[in-house]
């Protein structure tokens, strides 16, 4: 059985790309407080105070002192000790803390998930806390908190310096003094109610959002970033003034087209779909209907990528020649219609997805990428599309037919038509068994057709030796392939790229 880490056959080494390509928008930098925000410090703090109280022979009101953790230690101890005793007591507290406060202190529910949410958006995490720095590091290490920077012994507005220096845009805390630090830095203040401050106190201090706990933070972050990115998209489109949207019918270009119409109106927006043998016929009617629903014209020029030797040769650079043909076809049409820019649906994930020669070709020919410029990811595209009621919000990826042909095998109209027939036949074969595959590809490996289906089918009703597999294989052979196989690894977008090795 084939290993799922790659694909057998000749492996091709590609030279590094040196031409300019659009750069991804950096992810958010988010700062977090530690005590009572990420971790429940009360048990350890209380145990350390008890130990200190016993050593000093001084009564310390432990319950009261731990009810609103956050202020610096000197402010907490000063009312209960002689002035000259405060500094030595602080030093001893910090020594005792390592033995009494690390192991018993847990992370709050949602803490790790909140840090992971920032990572999911390709962001950086900061720990900005008033805690003694070595002890803050001990908590980070013990609880495996995924933070990029630990800045300790900063309090209130003093946190602003760190937040500004690190380029933070959000600070999450539990205390009114955390709010002060965020506002002084000019960043969004998010407050959680796991500390001693009430919702009313936090709102009065000026926080922008109050959450019951960090369990609510990942969803808040998703919505916050989506709102900001959609606003950035609107601003970018207004800056461009008018656009021809290279409309493939997929979720990305559909959102871009809808956003352009919302922002610029129907008079300054045109949709354009290049018709060629590589565009599945099944995509054409839904695309026309979608554009018509927005009230903008749809241009359907014939593109001639098949006439480009580099495209037919089907090296790893095939998409470069395809996109070059598309943009070179659309640019004169944009001029004819008085439109300033040709825009593609490249998103922020595309810019970091590895080998994408088509993005490079479009950039070299002056195409703009508003979704990428605004930092919108594929998940953002789907969430925004659903928010706006677009029918494409959950549409599966639908790459061109040429992407089904293994690199090194010449792309021809015959091969593309055979792939399209095979995919239609596989869908029909699945339907006859009461099955469907949301994602489906038939890869042309020469005279063998390799079928990629969702993994639940591959490991279940279409597993090796089942009637479902037999029907699928017969469908592929009936479409014109001499051999057929169901890929045991299941569907993977861009799976043929597994045979490419970048230097």
Higher-pLDDT residue of 4 and 431 is 431
Q: 3-state DSSP: the chain helix, strand, coil percent, rounded to 5? A: 50, 15, 40
**pLDDT value for 189:** 98
Q: Would you say 178 and 171 are in contact if contact means Cβ atoms under 8 Å apart?
A: yes
Q: Looking at 398, 432, 451, which one is the last position of a domain?
A: 398
Q: Looking at 178, 212, 246, which one is the last position of a domain?
A: 212
Evaluate whether residue 4 is within a structural domain: no
Residue 18 pLDDT level (bands cut at 50, 70, 90): very low
Is the same domain home to 304 and 333? yes
Residue 371's nearest CA partner among 264, 269, 251, 274 is 251
Evaluate whether residue 8 is within a structural domain: no
**pLDDT value for 478:** 97
Is the same domain home to 383 and 277? yes
Residue 382's nearest CA partner among 400, 372, 396 is 396
Is the same domain home to 389 and 410? no
pLDDT at 55 over 90: no
Residue 502 pLDDT level (bands cut at 50, 70, 90): very low
% of the chain exceeding 70 in pLDDT? 93
Evaluate whether residue 7 is within a structural domain: no
Which of 184-193, 313-322, 477-486 comes out lowest in average pLDDT? 313-322
pLDDT at 261 over 60: yes
Distance from the Cα of residue 156 to its chain's centroid: 32
Q: The CATH number of the domain where 158 resides is what?
A: 3.40.50.1000
Q: How far is CA 445 from CA 74, 405, 415, in A?
A: 72, 6, 10
Is the same domain home to 385 and 452? no
Q: The CATH number of the domain where 456 resides is what?
A: 3.30.300.10
Is the same domain home to 275 and 347? yes
Model-level pTM?
A: 0.82
pLDDT at 78 over 90: no
Q: What are phi and psi of 492, to 5 degrees?
A: -140, 125
Evaluate whether residue 13 is within a structural domain: no
DSSP structure class, residue 16: P
CA distance 493 to 403: 10
Evaluate whether residue 258 is within a structural domain: yes
Q: Looking at 212, 247, 263, which one is the last position of a domain?
A: 212
**pLDDT value for 500:** 55
Around Cβ 103, how many Cβ atoms within 10 Å?
12
% of the chain exceeding 90 in pLDDT? 71
Q: The CATH number of the domain where 65 resides is what?
A: 1.10.150
Query: Domain limits at 474?
Result: 403-502
Evaluate whether residue 16 is within a structural domain: no
Q: The CATH number of the domain where 354 resides is what?
A: 3.40.50.620
Alpha helices in 304-389 (DSSP H): 309-313, 318-336, 357-364, 370-373, 378-387
Around Cβ 297, how many Cβ atoms within 10 Å?
13
Is the same domain home to 241 and 281? yes
Evaluate whether residue 5 is within a structural domain: no
Query: pLDDT, tens digit, for every residue of 116-158?
Result: 999 999 999 999 999 889 999 999 999 999 999 999 999 999 9
**pLDDT value for 295:** 97
Residue 497 pLDDT level (bands cut at 50, 70, 90): low
Is the same domain home to 268 and 293? yes
Is the same domain home to 141 and 33? yes
* Across 336-355, average pLDDT: 89
Evaluate whether residue 263 is within a structural domain: yes
Torsion of Cα atoms, 378 then 381 then 385 then 390, to 10°: -70
Is the same domain home to 92 and 110? no
Is the same domain home to 240 and 364? yes
**pLDDT value for 10:** 35
Is the same domain home to 190 and 272? no
Residue 147's nearest CA partner among 137, 156, 157 is 137
* Across 423-437, average pLDDT: 95
Residue 255 pLDDT level (bands cut at 50, 70, 90): very high
CA distance 176 to 196: 10
* 281 contact partners, CB below 8 Å, separation of at least 6: 420
Is the same domain home to 237 and 385? yes
pLDDT at 359 over 80: yes
Q: How many domains does the chain have?
A: 4
Tokens linked to 341: 């820019």
- The chain-wide mean pLDDT, for the chain, equals 90
């Amino acid at each position: 059985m084939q290993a799922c880490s790659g694909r057998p056959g000749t492996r091709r080494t590609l030279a590094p790309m040196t031409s300019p390509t659009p750069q991804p928008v950096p992810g958010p930098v988010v700062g977090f407080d530690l005590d009572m925000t990420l971790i429940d410090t009360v048990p350890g703090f209380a145990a350390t105070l008890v130990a200190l109280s016993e050593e000093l022979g001084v009564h310390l009101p432990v319950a009261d002192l731990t009810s609103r953790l956050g202020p610096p230690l000197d402010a907490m101890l000063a009312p209960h000790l002689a002035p000259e005793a405060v500094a030595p007591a602080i030093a001893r507290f910090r020594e005792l803390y390592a033995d009494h406060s690390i192991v018993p202190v847990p992370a709050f529910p949602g803490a790790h998930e909140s840090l992971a949410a920032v990572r999911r958006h390709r962001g950086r995490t900061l720990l900005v806390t008033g805690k003694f720095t070595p002890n803050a590091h001990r908590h980070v290490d013990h609880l495996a908190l995924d933070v990029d920077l630990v800045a300790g012994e900063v309090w209130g507005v003093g946190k602003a310096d760190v937040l500004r220096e690190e380029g933070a845009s959000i600070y999450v805390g539990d205390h009114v003094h955390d709010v002060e630090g965020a506002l002084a830095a000019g960043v969004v203040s998010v407050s959680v109610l796991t500390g001693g401050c009430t919702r009313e106190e936090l709102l009065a201090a000026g926080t922008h959002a109050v959450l019951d706990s960090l369990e609510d933070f990942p969803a808040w972050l998703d919505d916050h970033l989506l709102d900001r990115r959609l606003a950035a998209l609107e601003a970018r489109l207004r800056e461009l003034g008018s656009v021809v949207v290279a409309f493939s019918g997929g979720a990305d270009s559909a959102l871009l087209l809808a956003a352009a119409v919302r922002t610029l109106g129907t008079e300054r927006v045109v949709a354009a779909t290049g018709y060629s043998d590589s565009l599945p016929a099944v995509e054409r009617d839904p695309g026309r209907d979608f554009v018509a629903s927005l009230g903008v014209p749809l241009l359907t020029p014939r593109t001639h990528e098949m006439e480009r030797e580099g495209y037919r040769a089907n090296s790893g650079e095939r998409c470069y020649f395809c996109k070059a043909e598309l943009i070179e076809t659309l640019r004169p049409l944009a001029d004819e219609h008085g439109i300033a820019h040709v825009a593609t649906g490249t998103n922020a994930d595309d810019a970091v997805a590895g080998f994408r020669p088509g993005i490079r070709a479009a950039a070299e020919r002056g195409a703009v990428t508003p979704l990428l410029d605004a930092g919108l990811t594929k998940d953002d595209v789907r969430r925004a599309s659903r928010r706006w009621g677009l029918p494409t919000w959950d549409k599966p990826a639908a790459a061109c037919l040429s992407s089904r042909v293994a690199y090194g095998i010449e792309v021809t109209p015959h091969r593309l038509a055979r792939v399209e027939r095979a995919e239609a036949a596989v869908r029909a074969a699945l339907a006859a068994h009461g099955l469907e595959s949301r994602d489906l590809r038939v890869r042309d490996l020469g005279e063998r057709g390799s079928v990629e289906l969702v993994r639940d089918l591959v490991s279940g009703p279409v597993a090796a030796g089942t009637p479902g597999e037999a029907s699928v294989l017969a469908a592929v052979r009936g479409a014109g392939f001499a051999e057929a196989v169901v890929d045991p690894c299941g569907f993977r977008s861009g799976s043929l790229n597994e045979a490419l090795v970048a230097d």
